[in-house]
Amino acid sequence: MRILGTIPHPLLKITIFRMENRVSIKFENAGYEQTFKLGTDERYQTLEAIQQWVDEKLLADVLDQMSAMHQSRLAADQRAFPTQEQAEAFEEII
């Protein structure tokens, strides 16, 4: 796998990879990542075509999904590791 290029963005690291003829695009922030595997479709074989594909709407969707991923993580943390206050919220039954 080699890096075909990057796309500058103020909040995300966007890296375009190529392995054989398959292309994938990875979007990363501090704690989460999303990868689109675009396959071998000829439309995605140039850096310019991929830069065109990564439009403002896609970037907004990626950021929304990362926000949802963060909320899912916080909720899972609370379920798995409740705070002492939450644990004591119910009276102990003997």
92 assigned to some structural domain: no
The answer to whether 18 touches 9, Cβ cutoff 8 Å, is no
Pairwise CA distance, residues 37 & 35, whole Å: 6
90 assigned to some structural domain: no
pLDDT in tens, 22-36: 999 999 999 999 999
9 assigned to some structural domain: yes
pLDDT in tens, 1-17: 899 999 999 999 999 99
8 assigned to some structural domain: yes
If one counts the domains in the chain, the total is 1
pLDDT at 13: 98
Domain that holds residue 20: 2-82
pLDDT at 27: 99
89 assigned to some structural domain: no
Pairwise CA distance, residues 17 & 26, whole Å: 8
| Phi, psi at 84, each rounded to 5° | -60, -40
Name the pTM for this structure.
Answer: 0.83
pLDDT in tens, 58-93: 999 999 999 999 999 999 999 999 886 655 666 666
